[in-house]
A and B are shown apart, each in its own frame.
Chain A
């Protein structure tokens, strides 16, 4: 069965949409109540916003590519790396 990824239940986050700061897409997140704040900038933020919709790695990659006008094949390895890191630190769940 293909794994699906989503933001973990204990994560609060805010992106520039809610902050109106700067030109670089940025998301700030934390596992609440004890986690430290984490910042995702640029393409990292784009992948995070794609993860907010949830989906398989292919779906997340496609959503990130659509948001950033990129070729899914060219970014898939980087997206997979970032998603892996986010799973390791517990802010993304793999179901």
Chain B
């Protein structure tokens, strides 16, 4: 009657649940402050039933990141993207484990404007415990989760999360979310998620959030990012990154580290695409 077996082929949902527990145990052993986000960390009613996550998302106190990286790598996680290349917001990096799959480590949440360490304190001060794989994991409270899900939807598209996290909330709950957004300087991103972006037309990040919600070309994206960049130095870094090949993404696309020639070929393609896009805009005018 016993069927004990190696479960490396476990369904994704099982792996994700267990992986949350793995990361939490690592955090507990090393005094690392983190919060579990999305997937099984979402409180009941805030997401469509039956929706499953394919990876683990955690928000770590930024000053604890080096300890978390050491902890993850001590049990076999390998870093696959870094913070500079992981996303537009440079807010997350990914680790992979053959048994546990992907872990996305966030040091900040896109759309939140206050300092990341301060933001973590705000999210953590009302945290609650949720058992994931029968392991107590700290997660943001209901109001913070509503905000997090709406901000994520604003950046990633899709309205399902907004339906559950915002539209279904009563006016008092929505006011709590707005108050939290004000404290976190996340009002523009919240507005983008709930269809009120035009109230912030003069904000430096308006075009960026309009790009995320309405789409556009790569050039539109970079113009929006430049407008949102606060300093000349930040703008210069962005311009450099715009034409640089993302080696992490190329590695994932190829399934192996890219050769120097492959990086060069992709570089040429990026420059050509940027040039073509610019030329087509000039022709349209």
B2, A81: Cβ atoms closer than 8 Å: yes
Main secondary structure of the interface of B (DSSP, over half): mixed
User: Does B22 contact A40, Cβ atoms closer than 8 Å?
Assistant: no
Q: How far is the CB of A1 from chain B (nearest CB, A)?
A: 27
Q: Judge whether A37 and B7 touch: CB under 8 Å.
A: yes
Task: Contact check, A75 vs B2: say whether CB atoms are below 8 A apart.
Answer: no
B10 within 8 A of A: yes
> What residues of chain A lie closer than 8 Å to B10, measured between beta carbons?
28, 37, 39
Known contacts A32-B25, A33-B25; A20 and B50 CB within 8 A of each other? yes
- Overall SS of chain A's interface: mixed
**Chain A residues positioned under 8 Å from B4 (CB to CB):** 38-40, 44, 82, 85
Contact among B1, B6, B13, B21 for A19, CB-based, below 8 A: B13
A43→B4 CA distance, assembly (Å): 10
- Closest CB in chain B relative to A67 CB, distance in Å: 13
CB nearest neighbor in B for A26 = B14
Residues on B with beta carbons closer than 8 Å to the beta carbon of A3? none
User: How many A-B contacts if CB must be within 8 Å?
Assistant: 106
Supposing A10-B25, A12-B135, A13-B133 touch, asked if A37 and B15 sit within 8 A by C-beta, the answer is yes
Knowing A12-B22, A12-B135, A36-B8 touch, does A82 contact B14 (C-beta < 8 A)?
A: no
Give the size category of B's interface with A: 20 to 34
Is A30 located at the chain interface by the 8 A CB criterion?
Answer: yes
Q: Please give, as numbers and ranges, the residues of chain A lying within 8 Å of B1 by CB-CB distance.
A: 42-44, 47, 75, 78-79, 82
Residue of A nearest to B3 (CB): A41
Q: Which residue of B lies closest to A38 (CB)?
A: B7
Chain A proximity of B205: nearest CB distance (Å):
38
Binary per-residue interface labels of chain A (38-70) against chain B in the complex, 1 for a CB within 8 Å, 0 otherwise:
111111100100000000000000000000000
Which of A7, A12, A42 has the most B CB atoms < 10 Å from its CB? A12
- Is B36 part of the contact surface with A, judged by Cβ < 8 Å? no
Is B232 engaged at the interface, CB distance under 8 Å to the other chain?
Answer: no
Of the candidates A19, A36, A41, A44, the one whose C-beta lies within 8 Å of that of B17 is A19
Task: Using A12-B134, A37-B10 as known contacts, list a sample of 9 further A-B pairs with CB atoms less than 8 Å apart, ordered by residue number in A.
Answer: A12-B25, A21-B11, A28-B7, A33-B25, A37-B99, A38-B7, A39-B3, A39-B5, A79-B1
Task: Give the top 3 A-B pairs by smallest Cβ distance, nearest first.
Answer: A12-B21, A39-B7, A12-B133
